[in-house]
Amino acid sequence: MKFSKDFLFGAASASYQVEGAWNEDGKGVSNWDVFSKIDGKTYQETNGDVAVDHYHRYKEDIALMAEMGLESYRFSISWTRIYPNGDGELNQKGLDFYNNVINECLKYNIIPFVTLYHWDLPQELEINGGWTNERTLKAFQQYADTCFKAFGDRVKHWITFNETVIFSRHGYIFGAHPPGILNDFKNYYQVLHNVFLTHAKVVLNFKDSGYQGDIGITHVFSPAFPADDKESSKKAAEHANMFDTFLYYDPILKGTYPEYVLNQLKEKGYAFELSQEDQEILLKAAPLNDFIGINYYQPMRVIANDSNTSREITRESSTGGAGAVSYDGVYQTVKVPDHSYTKWGWEISPEALLDGMHLLKNEYGNIPIYITENGLGDEDPIVEGEIKDAARIDYIEKHLKFVKKGISEGLNIKGYFAWSVIDLLSWLNGYKKQYGFIYVDHKDHLNRKKKDSFYWYQEVIATRGENL
């Protein structure tokens, strides 16, 4: 069986991780431009000042995507190229750059799939309370509408936010992302709500303004399963799914928050402000989402944290590997014997992706799903100058097989975006953790080189996955 002709084979990137040119052509300073230069915050003090210079090499990179036969390129817009201070003055050169990227994609019939926010907040907004401040929420709505007006004639697929859980939890609890705050649970939950409310307002504006195309949001998708048959593990998995899945997906797709969560937040004094007006906005916007984007890398295998050990907060423990105590201390993720893991301790389980998507369908109906990220972070072997990333081919092949199986079982999966189209900066792992189909040689002027997986994905797209 082939994937249908309207299924999108894509690949993704994010502005801070690929563009570089951090202070060129009128771009304002982002929170990551500042945070990445604080000692100890990133791996070996790496930052995105240059990244892989996609800002100057986007034509070469998009030509390589076209050679691969890529059908859609998911990229994010750097807010500070459009509004250097987040609001106020507009930067025409920023609009020009993204017009050029979009036009370059369309030149090759590559569908641009645009993320408005992939964590690089204007520093001017960050230092004034970031996502806790109404100013940021209003500024984002203005920025989004500016992008719809400027690019909406050619961009028909919009993602508002990438992985809210990451920038909120790493920003306000783990301190691993800007603003680098530790254990501020109250603001963590308030930021979540502020972002979801902003998403809802942007969706309503998108639809009310008559902009053409589809709009949605992208969440981490890491469904929790009990690591053993203990009743305590089953309860721990239910709790994990409430606080790590339904707390994110419910307000977007149902327009309400899980009572289980709201009740516990109230008990703990973490309840966020949720006005009647907010609830009406969430409810009104929920059915207008055209899709849900899911970033799947691994499931969570959980046990109860009976020993009440607290989470050790380090940069390493924030890079997602199994074995950490949850941020709220209630459960712990564990490695399961005879399961396979990446070098960063992430479980490789395409089966759990399929099981998890059925769980989403049971909860939210058959809403269109884009897998907006999936891929293998690895240190790719180089043999006689060739990048032999067989492990990445194996990882993506296995996951695409289960995507195909899910479609045959009636799941409404509309596309698959590998993370990442090109090797790029990992927020916490520098350039060590590679994800791309295209290698970037940091020892040779950032020259690009096609990996084995480039040719493999090219064949998959050409044959529409018939041989998977």
Based on CB atoms, which residue is closest to ligand 8VR, 163 or 380?
A: 163
# chain residues binding ligand 8VR, by CB under 6 A: 14
Based on CB atoms, which residue is closest to ligand 8VR, 19 or 278?
A: 19
The 8-class DSSP code of residue 170 comes to H
Among the candidate windows 29-37, 83-91, 332-340, 421-429, which touches ligand 8VR by CB under 6 A?
421-429
**b/e code 438-448 from CB counts within 10 Å (16+ = b):** bbbeeeeebeb
Among 36, 305, 429, 434, binds ligand 8VR (CB under 6 A): 429
Whether residue 179 is preceded by a cis peptide bond, meaning omega within 30 degrees of 0, is yes
Whose CB is nearest to ligand 8VR? 426
Among 43, 427, 439, 454, binds ligand 8VR (CB under 6 A): 427
Cα distance between residue 120 and residue 40, in whole Å: 19
According to the binding rule CB under 6 A, does residue 433 interact with ligand 8VR?
Answer: yes
Q: Between residue 320 and residue 339, which ones bind ligand 8VR under the rule CB under 6 A?
A: 320
**To the nearest whole angstrom, how small is the minimum distance from the Cβ of residue 280 to ligand 8VR?**
31
Angle at which helix 134-151 crosses helix 92-107, to 10 degrees, equals 50
Among the candidate windows 40-48, 124-132, 408-416, 424-432, which touches ligand 8VR by CB under 6 A?
424-432
Cβ atoms of residues 361 and 425 within 8 Å: no
Cα distance between residue 52 and residue 30, in whole Å: 18
Residue 302 burial (10 A CB sphere; 0-12, 13-18, 19+): buried
Phi-psi region of 157 (alpha: psi -120 to 50; beta: other; left: phi over 0): beta
Cα distance between residue 209 and residue 317, in whole Å: 44
According to the binding rule CB under 6 A, does residue 9 interact with ligand 8VR?
Answer: no
Among the candidate windows 32-40, 259-267, 426-434, 450-458, which touches ligand 8VR by CB under 6 A?
426-434
Rg of the chain taking only CA atoms, in angstroms:
21
According to the binding rule CB under 6 A, does residue 194 interact with ligand 8VR?
Answer: no
First to last CA, the chain: 8
* Closest by CA position to 141, among listed 90, 201, 85: 201
**Pairing outcome for strands 214-220 and 291-295:** parallel
According to the binding rule CB under 6 A, does residue 295 interact with ligand 8VR?
Answer: yes
**To the nearest whole angstrom, how small is the minimum distance from the Cβ of residue 44 to ligand 8VR?**
14
* Closest by CA position to 168, among listed 136, 143, 190, 198: 190
Q: Between residue 16 and residue 45, which ones bind ligand 8VR under the rule CB under 6 A?
A: 17
Based on CB atoms, which residue is closest to ligand 8VR, 48 or 112?
A: 48
Among the candidate windows 241-249, 254-262, 283-291, 423-431, which touches ligand 8VR by CB under 6 A?
423-431
Cα distance between residue 319 and residue 339, in whole Å: 19
The two structure tokens encoding residue 53: 């210079």
According to the binding rule CB under 6 A, does residue 177 interact with ligand 8VR?
Answer: no
**To the nearest whole angstrom, how small is the minimum distance from the Cβ of residue 134 to ligand 8VR?**
26
Based on CB atoms, which residue is closest to ligand 8VR, 193 or 433?
A: 433
Among the candidate windows 45-53, 184-192, 300-308, 425-433, which touches ligand 8VR by CB under 6 A?
425-433
Whether residue 72 is preceded by a cis peptide bond, meaning omega within 30 degrees of 0, is no
According to the binding rule CB under 6 A, does residue 426 interact with ligand 8VR?
Answer: yes
According to the binding rule CB under 6 A, does residue 14 interact with ligand 8VR?
Answer: yes
According to the binding rule CB under 6 A, does residue 419 interact with ligand 8VR?
Answer: yes
Phi, psi of 452 (to 5 degrees): -55, -35
Active site residues: 373
Contact residues toward ligand 8VR (CB under 6 A) are 14, 17, 162-163, 295, 297, 320, 373, 377, 419, 426-427, 429, 433
